[in-house]
Amino acid sequence: MSYASEHLRLSPVLAMARRLDIATNPEPEAIYEAGSGGFQIWCTPDDLPQGWSGASLTSGAFSKPCGFVASVSWGWTGERITHLLLETDAYDLNRRSQDLQSVNIHNRPDDIAWAKRKIKELFWRAGVPCPRICVEAA
């Protein structure tokens, strides 16, 4: 294996994330944003992690109202991608609660569970076995 062959092995996942790009695709399942070494996951008013009801989501430059939930990057062991690194930040929940109290928005269990389901769904759609998902420590 090499870095190039490993990126090639996971290229169908990034291709599917580009097809389901939240910036350009208004379909409900389009909640991803592809990068070169991973992707981001966004929620929409119709598909939210638990605890997000009432969050104020806006479209901004995207195709529909959304809120950032997670970042996923390739985890390497030597020259092989062996796992995924997941990190979540519920910025929109923090904005909602500014007048109340500070809310822990980093790696909330509900956000992690929701994001893991979305990761597995993306890999399934791409026809690629999903590697082990590891949560990034704060």
Q: Supply the pLDDT for residue 30.
A: 97
Q: Supply the pLDDT for residue 62.
A: 92
- Mean pLDDT, rounded, of the chain: 90
Sign of the dihedral through C-alpha 88, 92, 93, 98: positive
Name the residue among 63, 65, 60 with its Cα closest to residue 44: 65
Confidence grade of residue 53 (pLDDT, cut at 50, 70, 90): confident
Provide the 3-class DSSP secondary structure of residue 114: helix
Share of the chain above pLDDT 90, in %: 69
**Per-residue pLDDT averaged across 77-82, rounded?**
91
For the whole model, what pTM was predicted?
0.92
Backbone angles phi, psi at 56, to 5 degrees: -90, 105
Task: Render pLDDT for 95-114 as a digit per residue (tens, 0 to 9).
Answer: 655 555 556 789 999 999 99
Residue 19 near residue 125 (C-beta atoms within 8 A): no
Confidence grade of residue 138 (pLDDT, cut at 50, 70, 90): low
Q: Domain spans of the chain? A: 3-135
